[in-house]
Amino acid sequence: MKKTAKLLIASAMTAVLALAGCAQTPSEPIVIGSQAYYSNEIIAEAYALVLEDAGYTVDRQFSLGQRDVYVPALLSGEVDLFPEYTGNLLQYFDATATATAADDVYSALTAALPAGLSALEMSGASDQDSYNVTANFAAQNNLTSIGDLAALTGLKLGGAPELAERPYGPTGLDSFYGVKVEFEATGDATVEALVAGLVNMANVYSADPRIQQLGLVTLADPLGLFLASNVVPIASDAVDQKARDLINKVSQAMTAQDLIAMNVRSVQEQLSPNQIAREWLFSKGLIK
Amino acid sequence: MFSLADLWMWFAEPENWLGRYGLLNLLGEHLAISLSSILLASLLALPLGILIGHLGKGEALVVGLSSISRAIPTMGLLFALVMLLGIVNRELAVTLALAAIAVPPILAGAYSGISTIERSTKVAAIAQGMRPIQLIWHVELPLAASSIIGGLRIAFIQVVSTVVLAPLVGLGGLGFAIIQGLALRDFAQVTAGAIAIVLLTLFGNLVLGMLQQKTRLSTLRQIRAR
């Protein structure tokens, strides 16, 4: 309920800002949005800091919730810049998309984006769905790849409720790898359910720090069941070329390990997105 | 968005009614979680409320307990209990969290039903030689029955509408249809889940309301007959 309230306030604020910003002036701030997801907020903060460092005025509209809420805001020009993920965004615009490899997904996304929005350079950092098992379970059954599960019976798959219907859910597991599972909607407690043994395998985002912390084993996906989901900045036409170049430098500098390391700092050290992003940008020489 | 036709199609699809996460199974889970929480809350709150009403002592406890438990955010309590008891005991955690919101109305219903009985009625019963247990059983409980059921009615409405949170910790119930539907942008499913919860709440409210009305009337009739 708190989330909804935040969201309402955020959308009300963006609406007011949009009205107030009707007259175009050169000093109009670049509005940067983010999902209500701590890792996404860190990336958005990195964009904001780099632009501010170059003298731009930035308006942070973070924690805007899910795509249903913020994509319309991007399309209407209320938000100018947003950190996104190639695969998940592609599925939003084109539910029938078949590309799964990183480059294919990126070009499919570029084609699928509506007029007025463009995808800047994608980053090597990704945050995508992945199937994970506990180290014990992997050792007992000699598991390294999703296909290794096909030999096992009575498998229970845990994940968010929507996984039941996703193409990479139980149906995809069977058609790609011949793995048969019973689905258990474990919701927000998925990792806990995996560790407690309520399920044998679980869908966890690949940049989730708990994969490292709890020693989970991420199973390889050689057949491309999951869509690659690299971090990609989505910009509206209001973002000028100089700003785009600056953001592209951030994308080039951010590796998958960097993103995980920043997420770990957020979860373990409870640092603010601003501090984490600032220190990372500084270490890469992107801000002074 | 979606149209009424989509909603109709959703209800017409047998697959949406059957199976582990079908509407029927979710409805059963929803009722099971709700009723066990209300039962647990009643075991605690009914005897306590009756006792406090009977003795006329400890009203401060009733007021205190109600205000404390109303100030606790249910969702926070739910997650805290799951962490405390472990994910393996999530059923217990959810039942306890829901029982916590069911206790105040049940307690208040039992307490106020008994404490508002006319003093002369109690004195008359004692004058006839009734022992405290007889006074409670034959006089106070029948006269308070309507108020007690009123408390249960409020508890039922609150609990049934809060079980919707259970899927967040991996349990079922009708909230699953809403939470999954939102993520899949299947608004027909979201609406169908919401309609099911509303109907269940209204139905329970109707049944308990009728029961409340009936006990009130039968008490009145008994009083007139005497």
* CB-nearest partner of A187 from B88, B169, B182: B169
Can you list the domains of chain A with their CATH numbers?
Answer: 2-126+228-283 (3.40.190.10), 129-218 (3.40.190.120)
Q: Where are the alpha helices (DSSP H) in chain B?
A: 4-12, 23-55, 59-71, 74-85, 90-115, 119-127, 132-134, 141-162, 175-184, 187-225
pLDDT at A288: 84
- The tens digit of pLDDT for each residue in A182-225 reads 999 998 889 999 999 999 999 999 999 999 899 999 999 999 99
Hey, where are the domains in chain B? 4-225
Provide the ipTM.
Answer: 0.76
pLDDT at A11: 55
Residues of chain A with Cβ-Cβ distance to B172 below 8 Å are 185
* CB-nearest partner of B88 from A68, A162, A196: A196
Q: Which residue of A has its CA nearest to B184?
A: A162
pLDDT at A27: 65
Pairing of strands A81-85, A231-236: antiparallel
- By the CB < 8 Å criterion, does A214 face chain B? no
| Matching residue, tokens 């690659």 | A228
Residues of chain B with Cβ-Cβ distance to A185 below 8 Å are 21, 167, 170, 172, 176, 180
Which residues lie closer than 8 Å to A97 by C-beta, 6 or more apart? A90, A91, A105, A108, A112, A227
Distance from the A141 Cα atom to the nearest Cα atom in chain B, whole angstroms: 23
Collapsing DSSP to helix, strand or coil, B64 comes out as helix
- Asked if A186 and B170 come within 8 Å (Cβ–Cβ), the reply is yes
pTM: 0.78
- The tens digit of pLDDT for each residue in B37-79 reads 999 999 999 999 999 999 988 888 888 888 887 788 888 999 9
Q: How many CB atoms lie within 10 A of CB B205?
A: 15
Which residues lie closer than 8 Å to A195 by C-beta, 6 or more apart? A134, A214, B87
pLDDT at A81: 97
d(CA B174, CA B192): 9
Q: Which of B78, B90, B171, B178 to mutate to test the interface with A (most CBs of A within 10 A)?
A: B90
- The tens digit of pLDDT for each residue in A246-287 reads 999 999 999 999 999 999 999 989 999 999 999 999 999 999
Q: Which two tokens stand for residue A222?
A: 């050689």
Cα A141 off chain centre by: 31
- The tens digit of pLDDT for each residue in A24-61 reads 445 689 999 999 999 999 999 999 999 999 999 999 99
The CATH code of domain B4-225 reads: 1.10.3720.10
